């Protein structure tokens, strides 16, 4: 989780940046969005295929359009979420939930509907999809 200082600076607004690479490899801020909502946030995941941002907000995960900043959906039911992994071949997303007994929440990438959960370590934290092995990998704190 973020330090109290970082949280205080970022809690009122979450600035999201998109970068444009030029011939000189310069980067520039393309958009800034002020995203409200309840809960702190941890690992933000960008989906380059759909231009969506997945923002874990403690007990739910917001789905944001990275071009307009509009909220497209909200995935409920987490106790203390941290990260999101995406797997387009099966159309599934995975959210680590380190609260309670620990779980990975599985959701549909198109509808954002929760499909189920898998038991995980109580301190489940970071998560990625590894396309080489076809596995979802998660780390515990």
Provide the pLDDT for residue 108: 98
**Dihedral angle over CA of 127, 27, 36, 109, nearest 10:** -40
Provide the pLDDT for residue 24: 62
pLDDT digits (tens, 9 = 90+) for 97-108: 988 889 999 999
Provide the pLDDT for residue 11: 34
Phi, psi of 125 (to 5 degrees): -135, -95
Q: Can you list the domains of the chain with their CATH numbers?
A: 38-140 (2.130.10.10)
Percentage of the chain modeled with pLDDT above 70:
83
Of residues 51 and 6, more confidence is placed in 51
Q: How far apart are CA 46 and CA 85, in angstroms?
A: 10
Phi, psi of 22 (to 5 degrees): -105, 180
Q: How far apart are CA 86 and CA 59, in angstroms?
A: 19
Please say if the pLDDT value at position 21 is more than 60. Answer: no
Question: 8 Cβ partners below 8 Å, 6+ apart?
Answer: none
For the segment 70-83, the average pLDDT, to the nearest whole number, is 94
């Amino acid at each position: 989780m973020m330090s109290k200082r970082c949280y205080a600076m970022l809690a009122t607004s979450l600035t999201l940046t998109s970068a444009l690479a030029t011939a000189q490899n310069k980067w520039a801020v393309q958009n800034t969005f002020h995203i409200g909502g309840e809960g702190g946030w941890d690992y933000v995941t960008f989906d380059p295929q759909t231009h969506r941002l997945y923002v874990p907000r403690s007990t739910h995960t917001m789905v944001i359009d990275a071009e307009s900043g509009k909220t497209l959906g909200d995935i409920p039911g987490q106790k203390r979420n941290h990260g999101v992994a995406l797997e387009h071949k099966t159309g599934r997303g995975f959210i680590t939930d380190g609260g309670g007994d620990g779980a990975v929440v599985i959701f549909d990438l198109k509808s954002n509907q929760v499909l189920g959960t898998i038991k995980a370590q109580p301190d489940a934290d970071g998560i990625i999809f590894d396309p080489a092995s076809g596995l979802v990998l998660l780390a515990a704190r």
